Chains A and B, each alone.
Chain A
Amino acid sequence: MIRTMREGFIFQRDWAGRGERGFRDQMLMPAIFFGAVSPGLYISSLFTDFLPGLWASLIMNIAGYGVTHLLYLGKMERFWRGLLNIRHSWISRGILFNILFTISSSVFIILKALGAEWGGLIFLCKWVSLVSALLFLAYPGFMLSFVKAIPFWRSAVEPTLFFLQGIMGGIAVQLLMGAAFSLEQQVSRMLLRIDFLLLIAVLVIMLSALVIKSLHGDAERVSVMYLLGIHPATKDGGGAFFLVGAISGGLLIPIALLAVMVVFSELSGISKALVYPAMMLQLVGIYLAKYGFIRAGAYTPPAPKV
């Protein structure tokens, strides 16, 4: 039977929705998450000369981003076709940035690990991988901000947030890796300070974006209401995962924990014990914030006042 539909503001569910293909429809969010953390980790490891981090970013990029993204596609064997509209499509551009990043970072890491003395090639790969990592970090944000149909995403906030969250995620993974691999105290302290500033920046941007968007238009207001858990559609847990998971768990608690360590510049045993939960919470928060922003995208109703 065909149901007569009554439409108000509709939340998009083509991405990050419950699809009919089981786990394959759930693969987009891990792809977006690892697509941010992997280049973020690469950049932070590159600047701190942390080889295990470079290897981890490569693994995350291939297994975390590449494989999950392929699984999400309806026809994964045709993924190469995604490169055919680079002139207009942000997905095409994203695939291009990812391919550039994967190839150049792989060559750079392998040459670095082997200790090869091919200065020119290493220099070229280092810079190509750095630039492509920066572009790869920001592309999902641009992909969202160019969607005219969903007013909530139509702003410069999305690329900025995606970029900062990626760097934050990379730093968090690198600090967590410090438990298993030796990471100099000086480097840890520097990363913690950068991370602290990034957390505050993301919190300020996110909260001010929510306030501004809620004042801007009806569709944006509906999206903000969804994130705050005061929209009827949030019976699927919309408000809880954003407010509790992304804002409180992912930003406020890590900020409080890092504040202790930033104030006491020496990393004692106790403060080290605080780093790992803070970084874990931060990573979960990044995932949930992205998930929330994507699920909160609402279309305006189709019917005009006639």
Chain B
Amino acid sequence: MKNILERLEDFPVDTGESKEMKHYGMVIDLKKCLGCQTCTVSCKVFHGLGPGTVRVRVVEEEQGEYPRVERFYLPIRCMHCDEPECLKACPTGATKKRPDGIVTVDQDECMGCRYCAIVCPYQARSFIAVERRYFPENGNTWENERYAEHQVGTMDKCDFCHERIDDGVRRGLEPGKDPDATPMCVISCIGKALYFGDLNDPESKVSRLIRERKGFRLKEEVGTRPSIYYLSRRVRP
């Protein structure tokens, strides 16, 4: 049971970020995304997500009119927003924003009202309605352990594989550079379309890509300031 001081630490106050403070984010290069769904599958395998629970989805989009029609793939997941609507909406405080910008859900605190799923402009959350497994009778040790980590009746979302990041940082690794400290979807992407790193560091790969290729964010008009940037398929002026 947490005491009141520990509980207060669960609700970090936004003090304005300095350059020394990490703010993890992701860059997705739409020019390189093949729509192969490897990110989706690697995430599901690593986290032991059952059927119906998806943290990363790849949307197939078509735009334009004949004869100028374009098709492209758009990976969507939790955007780890700076101003997360889910954080404000969550009645229990189960949704938390860490000082490094990662938004998490504590399944021990979630009551499963699904208001966070409603308010998310990116539909990045899944409700674990019933216990389901892909191979219920033949699960290996890994699957059995990972499946057991998810509670039925609670919400699930991408957490940037924060346990990998935390473990890697403890071992002196750098998230985004060292695979052991980087989210699974990034290291498994066969098109090298995903980049991860510190958005507060102007020299990080992600910051340089955003600067040089004029990265943009989805649904800016909602005002949530996502931490995931996209790079256009075209070179922007």
A interface residues with partner B (beta carbon < 8 Å): 2, 4-7, 10, 12, 14-15, 19-21, 25, 72-76, 78-79, 81-85, 88-92, 95, 143, 146-150, 297, 299-300, 302-306
Contact = CB atoms under 8 A, between A and B. Distances in A.
A90 B63 CA distance: 37
A299 B91 contact: no
Main secondary structure of the interface of B (DSSP, over half): loop
Interface in B88-123: 88-94, 109-115, 117-123
B112 A73 contact: yes
A300 B121 CA distance: 8
B147 interface: no
Nearest to B114: A14
Given A4-B35, A73-B111, A74-B152, A148 B91 contact: no
29 contacts: A4-B37, A4-B73, A6-B59, A6-B61, A12-B118, A14-B117, A14-B127, A15-B114, A20-B52, A20-B130, A21-B130, A74-B110, A75-B151, A81-B93, A82-B91, A88-B89, A89-B90, A90-B89, A91-B115, A92-B91, A148-B121, A148-B222, A299-B123, A302-B76, A302-B123, A303-B61, A303-B63, A303-B218, A306-B30
Nearest to B155: A74
Given A81-B93, A89-B90, A302 B219 contact: yes
A35 B152 CA distance: 26
Contacts of A149: 85, 118-121, 222
A114 B167 CA distance: 64
Interface string B127-163: 1111000000000000000000001111100000000
Given A4-B35, A89-B91, A147 B123 contact: no
B223 interface: yes
A78 B115 contact: no
Given A14-B114, A89-B91, A303-B61, 11 more contacts: A4-B37, A4-B60, A10-B123, A79-B111, A82-B113, A95-B91, A147-B118, A148-B85, A149-B85, A149-B118, A299-B121
Contact of A5 (B57, B129, B222): B57
A88 B90 CA distance: 8
A89 B88 contact: yes
